[in-house]
Amino acid sequence: MYSMTNRRLVILTEGRLDVFSAKTAVSVIRYRKEDVVALIDRVNAGKDIESIIGIGKGIPIVSTIAETLHLKPTALLIGIAPPGGMLPAEWRKHITDALINKLHIISGLHCHLDDDPEFCKLAHDHQREIWDVRKPPEDIPLGSGKAKETKTLRILTVGSDCNIGKMVTSIEIANAAKKRGFNACFVATGQTGIMIDGSGIAVDHVISDFISGAAEKLVIDRSHYHLLSIEGQGTIVHPAYSGVTLGLLHGAAPQGLILCHQPTRKTLRHFANFPILPLPYLIDLYEKLAQPVHPCKVIGISLNCFGMTDHDALQEIQKVEKETKLPATDPIKFGVNKFIDGIRPLLP
């Protein structure tokens, strides 16, 4: 596996540089900015990255691998996670150029680039590695309910939709808990979280019978921590991703849930015929589905208020708190201290 230390990353977004389409790129920049030397995106080349995604000041956007070589990059990171996780055909040249110029490849796509004969040969010839982040380990067990036997406090993020801030919320909770002196750990269950943290299992690429076992393994392997902030996936009501959500819920056996929601989103992303359901309905649904394996409660609402003013976001927070009787916040705009205050009494 490509080393997580001394990384000098070029991130490929190629015309899809926005907060949601390029969530992998945006999250790596947010949490590992010091590792990123450039973005490749011909549509946005020369533009100010901060004006597009709100972060990343000083990172140049260029058109080709050749334009990054003076920055001495060590790897090309695929910066999108499209539905279905396939490689856009027009991106092959960038990957080829990267390997020829002795860059490693980091990919979170469902299609494994290391299985591509052309890329595999180039990697071999130029002594480079291709890290397919979504490849699961081979020792995943069937779920057995053992996670609930651990003494660690397990907080899982769940959502009203996919691509809505579950990973960011989980990272922010772990980071805030550490700052307060708690023995806390972020648990990555998706490709972007793994790229940021360096460990985890992309549970959406695990055979369905073993999803809960993957979540259980992640918990048991980290049971020496007092607090696990576990990244959620999908949403329980999504026609495509609900199976992953339920597998995580049952496998991780959390004692507490943080429900993530974007107030401005009215329908499921890419599924306009499915409306976002009311928060009280989702709270009740998640708690009822968790109960047969391990009872738990939703303890907070994480709001993704991207595109809203701070004033409007605060009004939305007050509205949600009144509606749900639970603490709510936007982790990026206002931090997660409300959640940490609610988690503290639950710690072992």
Q: What is the pLDDT of residue 80?
A: 86
Asked, for residue 140, whether it belongs to a domain, the answer is: no
Does one domain contain both 197 and 301?
yes
What b/e string do you get for 168-177 counting C-beta neighbours within 10 Å, with b at 16 or more? bbbbbbbbbb
Which positions ≥6 away from 191 have C-beta within 8 Å? 24, 81, 108, 133, 134, 202
Does one domain contain both 161 and 117?
no
Does one domain contain both 155 and 128?
no
Asked, for residue 84, whether it belongs to a domain, the answer is: yes
pLDDT in tens, 93-124: 999 999 999 999 999 998 899 999 999 999 99
> Within the chain, what is the greatest distance between any pair of CA atoms?
61
Q: What is the pLDDT of residue 135?
A: 93
Asked, for residue 314, whether it belongs to a domain, the answer is: yes
Does one domain contain both 232 and 267?
yes
> What span, in angstroms and rounded, lies between the C-alpha atoms of 211 and 147?
13
Asked, for residue 138, whether it belongs to a domain, the answer is: no
Asked, for residue 304, whether it belongs to a domain, the answer is: yes
Does one domain contain both 160 and 108?
no
Asked, for residue 139, whether it belongs to a domain, the answer is: no
Percent of the chain with pLDDT strictly greater than 70: 97
Does one domain contain both 89 and 176?
no
Does one domain contain both 156 and 44?
no
Does one domain contain both 287 and 198?
yes
Q: What DSSP designation does 232 have? A: P
* End position of a domain, from candidates 104, 132, 160: 132
| Strands 153-159 vs 184-187: parallel, antiparallel or unpaired | unpaired
Please measure the distance between the N-terminal and C-terminal CA atoms of the chain and give it in whole angstroms: 35
Axis-axis angle for helices 279-290, 242-252 (nearest 10): 50
**pLDDT grade, residue 15 (50/70/90)?**
confident
pTM comes to 0.93
Q: What is the pLDDT of residue 312?
A: 97
* End position of a domain, from candidates 76, 97, 132: 132
What b/e string do you get for 291-328 counting C-beta neighbours within 10 Å, with b at 16 or more? eebbebebbbbbbbbbebeeeebbebbeebbeebebbb
Does one domain contain both 180 and 269?
yes
Asked, for residue 4, whether it belongs to a domain, the answer is: no
Does one domain contain both 168 and 119?
no
Domain around 300: 146-346
Q: Is the pLDDT of residue 4 over 90?
A: no
- Dihedral, 8, 4, 85, 80 alpha carbons, nearest 10: -40
The total number of residues written for the chain in this structure: 348
> What span, in angstroms and rounded, lies between the C-alpha atoms of 31 and 244?
25
**pLDDT grade, residue 18 (50/70/90)?**
confident
Domain count for the chain? 2
CATH code of residue 284: 3.40.50.300
Does one domain contain both 150 and 95?
no
Asked, for residue 236, whether it belongs to a domain, the answer is: yes
Torsion 265-271-275-280 (CA) sign: negative
The residue with tokens 């709100």 is 54
The average pLDDT across 49-57 equals 94
Q: How far is CA 11 from the centre of its chain?
A: 16
Does one domain contain both 111 and 205?
no
Given a contact cutoff of 8 angstroms between Cβ atoms, the answer to whether 173 and 336 are in contact is yes
* End position of a domain, from candidates 78, 104, 132: 132
> What span, in angstroms and rounded, lies between the C-alpha atoms of 192 and 227?
21
CATH code of residue 116: 3.40.50.720
Q: Is the pLDDT of residue 164 over 80?
A: yes
Q: What is the pLDDT of residue 90?
A: 85
